[in-house]
Chain A
Amino acid sequence: MDERTHISIQDLNVFYSGLHVLKNISVNIPDRKITAIIGPSGCGKTTLLKSLNRLLDALDGVRVEGKVLVDGEDIYGPKVEVTRIRKKMGLLSQKPQVLPMSIYDNVAYGPRVHGVKDKRELDRIVENFLKVAGLWDEVKGRLHHPASRLSMGQQQRLCLGRGLAVGPEIILGDEPTSALDPQSSQNVEKRLMELKQDYTVVVVTHILRQARRIADYIIFLYLGELVEHGPASEIFANPRNPRTRAYLTGEIS
């Protein structure tokens, strides 16, 4: 496989108040592909994901060592501005977290924060990204209703549109379908498949079948260690490490 690397993780170590949760992780995440981080519960999947947009080091008692290069720049570098790093990445959390404002304002929030003031420009952005998120037709008549009244599935797509509206290059998903019903999950998966044309997508998932459905690249973590990574077709067809094989066959979960 000859892919360009978008995110390069080098010797990443994470400690939670003394506990060593990620151990010497080094992996390159390919550009414009869906990379799935898989592994049993508590193996550090979410930690790895959150280390990518610097949400992790905001937590208490967390120490991060090593490098994460995004477009060649170390995001843990001393001069790096955190808000600019985060603007590069849209985050989908486990449970959709809409902001306490209208549907319109949810999408406009990011652009406004980054300085877009023109009403017509904002209208255009909101319409555009609600369409990309596949939500426009369902909400176009009630853009100024509270976002909290949408269904869970709609809220998650709103979060997707909201994240895309700040113009990121990377989409991070932390088990983004785990709180959704099957139909909404399918809908979100479909969006992610479409979005990999233009974005690098990294999702944490504990659903193996989901990883099989959508992932191009797999990172398998076990107890904080990177056991195996590679193109999804190879890993699923022919896992080299016995622990990966055990996980894929369901012996460990």
Chain B
Amino acid sequence: MSGDTRHPVDLDTLADYTAGVLDGAEAARVADLIETDTGWARAYEALVRAEAAVRDDLRAAAAMSDHMPDDVAARIDAALTSLPERGAVVSLDAARARRRRIATAVAGVAAAGVAVLGGLSLANTQMSAGMEAADAPVLAPEAAEPPVAPHGESDGVGSGDMGSVTGDSSAWPLVIASGRDYTTGSVRDLWAYAGAAPPADADKTSRPDMAMGEAPRAAAGGALARLAAPAALEACLAAINAIQPGQPVVVDFARYEGAPALVTLVRQTASSIVVVVGPDCGISDADMITAVPA
């Protein structure tokens, strides 16, 4: 070491040098700086000492108890218990039939005005985080489509047939765009929408007496706009079904913890679950954010 501080010390580079991960030329350059530059030399010595102290602190912190809290363990056990057993047999024919029916339903939704999700039309409803369930714009199938019966018993998700649905109208999910910002604790509120079956005709799905706020419009028409396309929503529902087999009851174009999300209530064999997915749902997987027993 012979010179004064001439070059500003780059802490990341110095850390990489101490870790031995720099390539030959860069390592040689840093070694030369440590040899010739007072600032780098002192910084290097200080960092080596400090790293040892940090390791000691981390070891001390790691020695603290880290048992999973009982309530968290119970919650996770409950979530896992709600899943179908791995050995259950999937009926491919039934799954294909379900896929066809979803496609038809989604096409109907689009025809009835789901294009609002791209900011084009549909129900204009003023909403806020504290809105009532019934205020959400309902993006329902067109008149020819059967009405939703979310609380119907014939969900067709029987044991041993995770992907099947029956042929009745209860197969159609209610599609809404509440724009609501859900949290883990509030996703179960989706049941409130499930209780409000959409009207059987397209006219009633429109809510011209209300004006959609900017927040829900942005939630639905922004990051989630891709999912407004029937094929994309179909693919998304199929991806959700692949990880959480069951009957989608309500699909809400909304937010989860501030981020755009599709919040879907899925009725399963003996329980229900809310599956929250991101804007990339259906591209390669469900883009799942979380799943909460409902």
Chain A partners chain B:
no
